[in-house]
Structure 1
Amino acid sequence: MKYLDEYRDPELAQRLFAEIRRITTRPWAIMEVCGGQTHSIIRNGIDQLLPEEIELIHGPGCPVCVTPLEIIDKALAIASRPNVIFCSFGDMLRVPGSAKDLFRVKSEGGDVRIVYSPLDAVRLAQQHPDREVVFFGIGFETTAPANAMAVLQAHRLGLRNFSMLVSHVLVPPAISAIMESPTNRVQG
């Protein structure tokens, strides 16, 4: 894995932490937005390597973390249908619904597939014209354009077996609410 290995260079990490320690001249309270970021920071010990002047505050959560249970349950019901290929980014497969998650649906025979782009789901719809292909479009406002492009591409191709279950969330309102709170301590 070329790109993953590039982010696991211990010498580079030590140089970066040394530079962070060098330029940190006062206390900072910094918030990460996404639970995935929080897990990566803690799993890799980044929180322990930062100078004590840097406090990490765990943020409001990413689209995966804040997807409404009702949407998750709809996804599970759709993915359980026999004539459906249900496509999702991998991070959604472990998110629990009321009774199970997409991994469970897959283990029970549902055709649940991990894709890396909504356009991968469009290609599956082309390859399987006899099945409904549903893409689970979860994301920030930054993922909405790719989802819209997939819908446009499916329309251009005349695909009638492609659809999406979408739940987009906006980051700016959540960040504004945090920053405008009288008890806010976040500085970056």
Structure 2
Amino acid sequence: MRYVDEFRDPVPAKLLLDELRRTATRPWAIMEVCGGQTHTLVRQGIDELLPAGIRMIHGPGCPVCVTPLETIDRALALASRDDVVLASFGDMLRVPGSDGDLLSVRARGGDVRVIYSPLDAVRIAADEPDREVVLLAVGFETTAPTTAMAVRHAHALGLKNFSLLVSHVLVPPAMTALLDAPDCAVQGCLAAGHVCAVMGWREYEPIAARYHVPIVV
């Protein structure tokens, strides 16, 4: 399959690894910021193939992992109400709150529905005007625009039963929080390309200048 098989071709991968071994003149501790990057590195075994002096540090790039407990507890409370439909992406259903998770609430009769797009929640609200539909909007810069589109679409339809429980977060503040830590061992960052497709890359320039840490998109 084009643009999939090429990235799994062992020949250029070996050439890149050989180039890394030649050019890495000292140990490096590099943080990959995106959870998708972590998944790929581990699943494809790339972290095991890197030269011994290059160590990957898993960063904060999973929105599920950085969602506050308070937000999860609010989602559980809303999903337990008879007059509410809670719409959420599937990866949030197993995130534990103080008393269970959304799957356990659904098992007890709560109306928790898995969506693939925030616009799915808008459609549910349009189809069921007697129920309050709450979209659990979680994610970094990449998902915030789709949440905004859902709000705009709901407004255009004149829906009065569509609302949000929002926990959108930004990547640069998460990076600076880690780099500010006294025991931070990060010497370089691998930034998320899909985030930069939304926000650009200029927000990383002051971070690189302040902490003297190279950032590659």
TM-score if structure 2 supplies the norm length?
0.74
Q: What amino acid does structure 1 have at the position aligned with 2:124?
A: L
Cα offset, 1:187, TM superposition: 1.3
User: What is the match of residue 68 of structure 2?
Assistant: 68
Matched, 1:23 2:24: no
Structure 1 position 83, deviation (Å): 2.3
Counterpart among 10, 21, 25 of residue 14 in structure 1: 10
1:36 CA displacement: 5.6
Consecutive unaligned residues of structure 2, counting only runs of 5 or more, are 190-217
SS for the counterpart of 2:188 is coil
Residue 10 and residue 51 in structure 1: after superposition, are their counterparts in 2 closer, same or farther (change >3 A)?
farther
> Number of matched residues?
184
CA contact (8 A) 1:57 1:186 kept: no
Q: What's the counterpart of residue 116 of structure 1?
A: 116
Q: 1:16 to 1:132 in 2, by over 3 A?
A: farther
Q: Which residue of 2 aligns with 1:185?
A: 186
SS of match in other structure, 1:60: strand
Residue 33 (structure 1) shift: 2.3
Deviation at 1:20, TM superposition (A): 2.5
| 1:173 to 2:169 alignment | no
Q: 1:181 deviation in Å?
A: 5.4
- The answer on whether the counterparts of 1:79 and 1:110 sit within 8 Å (CA) in structure 2 is yes
Q: Is the 8 A contact 1:17 1:49 kept in 2?
A: no
Instruction: Report what 2:97 is aligned to.
Output: 97
8 A Cα contact 1:64 1:95, kept in partner: yes
Partner of 1:144: 144
- Residue matched to 2:47: 47
Report the Cα offset of residue 124 of structure 1: 1.1
The verdict on how the C-alpha distance between 1:126 and 1:46 changes in structure 2, with shifts beyond 3 A counting, is same
Aligned partners of 2:63, 2:117: CA distance in 1, in Å? 16
Deviations 1:107-138 (A, max 9, x none): 22212111121111111111111211111000
Q: 1:107 to 1:39 in 2, by over 3 A?
A: farther
Q: Gapped runs of 5+ residues in structure 1?
A: none
Residues 1:81 and 1:44: Cα distance change in structure 2 (over 3 Å): farther
Say whether the 8 Å CA contact 1:141–1:169 is kept in structure 2. Answer: yes
| RMSD over equivalenced CA pairs, Å | 2.5
Farther off after superposition, 39-48 or 63-72: 39-48
Q: Is the 8 Å Cα contact of residues 30 and 55 (structure 1) preserved in structure 2? A: yes
Give how far 1:29 is off: 2.6
Q: Which amino acid aligns with 2:88?
A: S
Residue pair 1:125, 1:131 contacting (<8 A) in 2 also: yes
Find the residue that maps to 1:86 and give its secondary structure: strand
Q: Give the superposition deviation at 1:39.
A: 4.6
Quote the sequence identity (%).
Answer: 60
TM-score by length of 1: 0.84
Q: Which amino acid aligns with 2:94?
A: R
